[in-house]
Chains A and B, each alone.
Chain A
Amino acid sequence: MSDDHGRDDAAGNGLLHRRLFLKAGAAAAGLLCATARGETREPWMRAPGAGMSAAGAPSPHVTLERVGVSSRPGTTGSGVSRTPLEQLDGIITPSRLHFERHHSGIPDIDPARHRLVLSGLVDRPLAFSLDELWRYPQVSRIQFLECSGNSGAMIAPTPPSGSCGEIHGLVSASEWGGVPLGVLLEEAGLKPGARWVIADGADAAVMSRSVPLEKMLDDAIVALSQNGEPLRPGQGYPMRLFLPGWEGNMCVKWLRSLRVTDRPALTRDETSKYSDLGADGRATLFTFPMGVKSLLTSPSAGLTLGPRGVYQLSGIAWSGAGRIRRVEVSADGGRSWADAQLDAHVLPKCLTRFRAAWRWDGGPAVLLSRATDETGAVQPARAQVLAGRASNSFYHYNGIQAWAVDDRGQVSNVYV
């Protein structure tokens, strides 16, 4: 590993200025002009291809499935499946690859029978059918959804093995469409003393969370669509709560009831599960926004680099507080940093794709990324995240991720 920066280097151990990367790409494209004119046809160009299909399928050459699919002992429906982050590009997660966290399976809901009920501290308790909700004003939110337990394995004393998706794949991003909660609450009419809303799902666990009324009136929606189509059953069909930037568990799927109250219910999930235990034995409830975070997805653990030379580093960054302002990358374990380039779509409370060019010299490297959001919050080091926490307190982990590249090009998870 060299600490000397070359003339074209932006930071140590081969991080390049963006202009060099673009120049290298242009040179490679030039080679395409060398073939003979109008003679070469591949086999699949010699007859018309397959016809149209009702349901588009991925290429048979692409194996792309959710990873880390597991369920709690004695159950089939209480578990997780994770997004294969290392196999995706851009910022939108294909709906079929969006992570899942269910507490008692996916209910098979008859949309004609399902109703959303608003009750409690309202002037008029109301029920809404799916068809009726489609007549309400709709908004679009292109935003991330992250389970509060995402990356929880990173609290272990030794770095967990597994791919980027297996460790960090409880985050996804979609275009969510639906009805602003404020519109429905206005119709029901809020009574004095209204402060919280208890959201229940129509799953077998009647999953339940208490949500501050301020959030409901700010940017919460009853989501009916994801990436342009009606919600899939695993994402809450026919409707779910979506709370931009807040922990995924609160975005109650199969939304059935919203009860307005003067206080939180202290449901099992918001007390015994999604709370943060400190090393001193005290715990904090209601830590809702997800912190600023980033990951390199390519390369990442389990992948192997090819020949030495220029690679494109790529990853995702996000913050529950708003837009990503900056992502820095390091190839020398944090001794020096260079600014990554952000893709064009820098949206509030959404995944932002970042990229940087890196020349691998064939030696060991430790690759990091560090995000800063528009409030100025900087992604913390792992040690900062864990300081003051109980040994098994794994929610809301947003530490800087380090991937080590060895001299054979193999990439693994390391702590720095």
Chain B
Amino acid sequence: MNATSATRMNRRLPWTTALALLATAAGQAGESPGLGEPLAPDEVAALDFTVLPDGRGLPAGEGSVGEGARLYAARCLACHGEEGRGGINDELAGGAGSLAGPAPVKTVGSYWPSATTVFDYLRRAMPYEAPGSLTADDYYALTAYLLYLNGIVDADARLDARSLPAVRMPNRDNFDHGWPPDAAEGG
């Protein structure tokens, strides 16, 4: 047994505790071996990419529209085009007012309901060839630039964990919810 697995065993719940927990579980949980390894808060945080619309999950850091423009030119332009338009991949800007017309153009500005989604997605998945290779400051800056391209923030805007969730997306009130099945409230 190496040091790592010894540590893992020590951190497991005592067997008697696991049995007590399982006694309250329904159905097949009674057959559960109770092998889950407890995690410390910092271990959980390191694995947690989710940013919620109210800003929970956003890291420390900040970025400006200007910094975002420079990063965009270096890392994003090849696929997404000048100023987020006309690239070989998704349109990121424009489309305002098009959704109810004959040819809707769904972009960050015309469609996305929450500004936090921009940061969340960039940090998970972009740049495509090297996701996660930028800093939190970089992702705030790119988020600011994409919102600027859509006329949602000013050219001198800086975004951080406090200001980003406060950004009001233009299309946010035009969503209904299919779940729960009887819900009809806006997003």
Which residues of A approach B to under 8 Å, CB–CB? Answer: 72-75, 78, 103-104, 117-119, 124-129, 132, 135-137, 139, 180, 182-184, 186-189, 198, 200, 204-208, 212, 256-257, 259, 261, 263, 265-268, 271-272, 275-277, 279-288, 390-392
Contact = CB atoms under 8 A, between A and B. Distances in A.
Contacts of B108: 272
A281 B28 contact: no
Contacts of B25: 183, 186-187
B78 A187 contact: no
9 contacts: A117-B44, A139-B28, A183-B25, A198-B50, A206-B49, A265-B51, A268-B121, A279-B100, A391-B102
Contact of A287 (B32, B100, B114, B178): B178
Nearest to A286: B179
Nearest to B49: A206
Contact of A74 (B31, B53, B88, B180): B88
A183 B34 CA distance: 9
B29 A284 contact: no
For the complex of A and B, the 6 pairs showing the least CB-CB separation, nearest first, are A126-B36, A281-B100, A286-B179, A287-B178, A186-B25, A268-B121
B176 A285 contact: yes
Interface stretch (B58-66, B123-131, B134-142, B151-159): B123-131
B174 A184 contact: no
B104 interface: yes
Among B24, B78, B176, B179, the most chain A Cβ lie within 10 Å of the Cβ of B179
Contacts of A189: 21
Given A119-B39, A186-B22, A204 B125 contact: yes
A267 B53 CA distance: 9
Q: On chain B, which size bracket covers the interface?
A: 35 or more
Contacts of A104: 125, 128, 131
Contact of A126 (B29, B37, B51, B78): B37
A272 B106 contact: yes
Contact of A135 (B33, B39, B48): B33
B15 interface: no
Contact of B128 (A75, A117, A266): A75
Contacts of B125: 103-104, 204-207, 268
B26 interface: yes
Contact of B48 (A182, A257, A287): A257
A259 B50 contact: yes
B73 interface: no
Contacts of A390: 99, 104
B131 A205 contact: yes
B108 to A, nearest CB: 8
B27 interface: yes
Given A182-B27, A257-B48, A285-B187, A271 B112 contact: yes
A265 B120 contact: yes
Interface in B9-61: 13, 18, 21-22, 24-29, 31-39, 41, 43-44, 47-54
Give the secondary structure class of B's interface.
loop
Nearest to A273: B106
Interface of B: 13, 18, 21-22, 24-29, 31-39, 41, 43-44, 47-54, 78-79, 88-89, 99-100, 102-104, 106, 108, 111-114, 116-117, 120-121, 124-125, 128, 131, 174-180, 187
Contact of B26 (A186, A205, A275, A279): A186
A127 B39 contact: yes
B38 A124 contact: yes
Nearest to A199: B50
B32 A187 contact: yes
Given A282-B176, A284-B178, A277 B26 contact: no
B94 to A, nearest CB: 14
Given A117-B44, A124-B36, A272-B117, A286 B52 contact: no
A281 B105 CA distance: 11
Contacts of B178: 276, 284-288
B36 A128 contact: yes
Contacts of B113: 266, 271, 285
A122 to B, nearest CB: 10
A191 to B, nearest CB: 14
A287 B178 CA distance: 5
Given A266-B116, A281-B100, 14 more contacts: A104-B128, A119-B44, A125-B43, A126-B39, A136-B35, A182-B28, A187-B29, A259-B50, A268-B121, A271-B111, A283-B174, A285-B175, A390-B99, A391-B103
